[in-house]
């Protein structure tokens, strides 16, 4: 999925990688271990993801510990639109075919929260 933001790539990167910012739009709580593992908490449940690639201000890729396939990941990639100067946030996520619409709706809702937090 692709979303446009007025916030800079560095600001978005901060909101995607730091606990104080993640809890404002993505999860209820998050713990990060020195080895690059993020434990995200939502309504009493948790999921662990490991950072498998990271280029500060450009992208971060997570792999969920309980993923069905080793090729599945969650990636946030930031780029600048050469036409408008806005930041493009590209989200790559994997979902089963029957969960695709629900997953898209979830991201739309989360991105609305992120827009409010980043000022658009």
Contact in structure between 40 and 47 (CB atoms under 8 Å): yes
Q: Which domains does the chain have, with CATH numbers?
A: 2-118 (3.30.530.20)
How close are the terminal C-alpha atoms of the chain, in Å?
17
Nearest alpha-carbon partner for 63 in 43, 89, 37, 40: 37
Q: In this structure, what are the phi and psi dihedrals at residue 84, rounded to the nearest 5 degrees?
A: -100, -15
pTM above 0.75, yes or no: yes
Report pLDDT digits (tens) over 20-78. Answer: 999 999 999 999 998 889 999 999 899 999 999 999 999 999 999 988 888 889 999 99
Asked if residue 41 lies in contact with residue 30, where contact means CB atoms within 8 angstroms, the answer is yes
């Amino acid at each position: 999925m692709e979303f446009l933001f007025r916030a800079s790539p560095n600001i978005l990167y901060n909101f995607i990688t730091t606990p104080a910012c993640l809890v404002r739009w993505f999860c209820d709580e998050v713990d990060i271990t020195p080895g690059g593992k993020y434990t995200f908490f939502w309504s009493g449940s948790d999921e662990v993801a490991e950072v498998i690639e990271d280029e500060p201000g450009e992208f971060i890729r997570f792999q969920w510990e309980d993923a069905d396939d080793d090729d599945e990941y969650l990636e946030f990639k930031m780029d600048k639109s050469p036409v408008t100067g806005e930041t493009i946030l590209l989200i790559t996520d994997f979902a089963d075919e029957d969960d695709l619409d629900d997953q898209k709706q979830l991201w739309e809702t989360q991105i609305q929260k992120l827009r409010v937090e980043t000022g658009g």
